[in-house]
Amino acid sequence: MTSSDLTRNQQVVLKALSGSNVPLSAYDILDLEQVRDQGLKAPLTIYRALDKLQALELVHRIESLNAFVACDHGPHSEPVGFMSCDRCRKTIELPVGACEDVLRSSAKANGFKLDRITVEVSGRCTDCVEGT
């Protein structure tokens, strides 16, 4: 999978996310001049591109923020969680393989059928901790 296999809209959206150091919502993306200049003006267009980019593991959705980030090392199939800074919104990918094992085994012990695991941690990043 190379970026040349993406449609033009998908490339525009991926570039917008890669260029941002904070997660962006679909409407944040739509508001960017670089995106509007490319003729992307409808939310549905952005959502479609985001859906495809997520399926390709190039973009992740941060559920608690309802926003998206470009993956910094994708595509990958291993599960990831996120640490988001409450102050500057910087978001860092967090490998959660070991954590997932714990959750899966306790779900199993409780007879719970687990479909999806979301790990999102909030707090303050190094820069923001040092700034206080």
Task: Give contact residues for Zn ion (rule: CB under 5 A).
Answer: 71, 74, 85, 87-88, 90, 125, 128
Residue located via tokens 């199939």: 77
Of residues 92 and 103, the one with the C-beta less far from Zn ion: 92
* H/E element, 85: strand 80-85
Q: Report the nearest approach of Zn ion to the CB of residue 45 (Å).
A: 23
Q: In what order do the strands lie in the sheet with 120-123?
A: 91-95, 80-85, 120-123
Half-sphere exposure of residue 94: CA atoms within 13 angstroms, side-chain side: 17
Nearest to Zn ion of 83, 88 (CB atom)? 88
Report in angstroms how near the CB of residue 67 gets to Zn ion at its nearest. Answer: 15
Q: Is residue 68 within 8 Å of 37, Cβ to Cβ?
A: no
Least Å distance between CB 110 and Zn ion? 29
CB atoms within 10 A of CB 69: 22
Least Å distance, CB 64 to Zn ion, is: 16
Nearer to Zn ion, 49 or 71 (CB): 71
If the CB atoms of residues 4 and 77 are measured against Zn ion, the closer one turns out to be 77
